[in-house]
Amino acid sequence: MAKEKNEIYRDCKVICACGATFDTKSTKDEIHTEICSECHPFYTGAQVRTSKSSNVDKFNRRAAQAKKNN
């Protein structure tokens, strides 16, 4: 009975919405995904990062203005 419950682990083709494909192993024949390492901003370097230094500069300007007013 246990053999009937186990699914077959086989080669699988993953297809991304951007058109990239790669092979892996799965119990399914084909997997469709919306995002992959080829198009995700974190992996491509297109991710926009905010500068923390601008927040520090903003704080320093507000602190200087507060000192002037007091």
Q: What is the pLDDT of residues 4-40, one digit of tens each?
A: 677 889 999 999 998 999 999 999 999 999 988 888 7
The Cα 47–Cα 37 span in angstroms is 13
CATH of the domain at 44: 4.10.80.400
Q: Using the predicted structure, report yes or no on whether residue 42 has a pLDDT greater than 80.
A: no
The whole model's pTM is what? 0.52
What pLDDT does residue 55 have? 80
In whole angstroms, what is the distance from residue 1 CA to residue 4 CA? 5
SS3 content of the chain, % helix, strand, coil (to 5): 35, 25, 40
Q: State how far the Cα of 52 lies from the Cα of 42, in Å rounded to an integer.
A: 18
Number of domains in the chain: 1
**Which residues constitute the domain of residue 47?**
2-69
Contacts of residue 27, Cβ cutoff 8 Å, sequence gap at least 6: 7, 8, 9, 10
